[in-house]
Structure 1
Amino acid sequence: MRKQSTLFGALAVTATLAFFPMTSAVAEEIRVPVGTQADRDQASFPGSGMSQSSVRASWGAPMEIHGPVGQPPITQWHYQSFVVYFEGDRVIHTVLKHNR
């Protein structure tokens, strides 16, 4: 009985594959280099390691300041087109704001 069950199972799989041929999916992969994902001129944004006084001297007073929060203290300076994140007195990251 076991051999008949195995044979029946194999026949069922073969019949199913015959009625439903396998199809393959095709997808296009688009690669965009990180440096070209935004219209960003590195010279027009604060760089890592800059002091708060250097950022203020180059870009003026921020529209908003959030923080400091946490340990180490993280502060955000919001400008019209970007946000500068400071750890203590030094820039750790600058992020472009999304255009709406």
Structure 2
Amino acid sequence: MKATHLSLALALATGLLVQASPATADILLVERVQTESAALPARGQSMSQVEAAYGAPARKHAPIAGPNSREHNPPITRWDYPGFSVYFEYSHVVDAVAAKSRPEEIGPKPIQ
């Protein structure tokens, strides 16, 4: 009987300690992007539509085209905003990518 009370007291104490300690977890970039993706520019929008909706970007990078034919390697332009980057093929959005919100956020490994 005493062992049952001791086991019960130990289980309750352990449960209270677990509850009292602060929870920590990794924040995944993928999870945040899934919730914020509706706020990013949509594929197919023009540069003027993006600028009208989101304002002037913090930085506009010069277009970069692949070697040889522009037909097979069109110029890609990147605009950086505080929370995301937008990639354009010619003058239309092909992708918008969220930036990390905090250094501890886990995302893809950088290209080496």
Task: Give the TM-score of the pair, scaled to structure 1.
Answer: 0.60
Match of 1:60 among 55, 78, 83: 55
Looking at structure 2, the residues matched to 56 and 43 of structure 1 have their Cα atoms a distance apart, in angstroms, of: 17
Match of 1:85 among 84, 87, 94: 87
SS of structure 2 residue aligned to 1:68 = coil
Q: CA deviation at 1:46?
A: 0.1
Structure 1 runs (4+) deviating above 6 angstroms are none
Q: Which residue does the alignment assign to 1:10? A: none
Task: Give the TM-score of the pair, scaled to structure 2.
Answer: 0.54
Match of 1:97 among 87, 96, 99: 99
Higher RCO (C-alpha under 8 Å, 6+ residues apart): 2
Where do 1:1-100 residues align within 5 Å? Answer: 37-39=31-33, 40-70=35-65, 71-99=73-101, 100=103
Looking at structure 1, the residues matched to 97 and 39 of structure 2 have their Cα atoms a distance apart, in angstroms, of: 12
Could you report, residue by residue, the CA deviation over 1:39-86 in whole angstroms, capped at 9, with x for unpaired residues?
Answer: 533331101000000000000000001120013000000000000000
Looking at structure 2, the residues matched to 42 and 81 of structure 1 have their Cα atoms a distance apart, in angstroms, of: 12
Q: How many equivalent pairs are there?
A: 65
SS of structure 1 residue aligned to 2:62 = strand
Q: CA RMSD in A?
A: 1.4
SS of structure 2 residue aligned to 1:43 = helix
Larger Rg: 1
Question: How many percent identity over aligned positions?
Answer: 38
Higher strand proportion (structure 1 or 2): 1
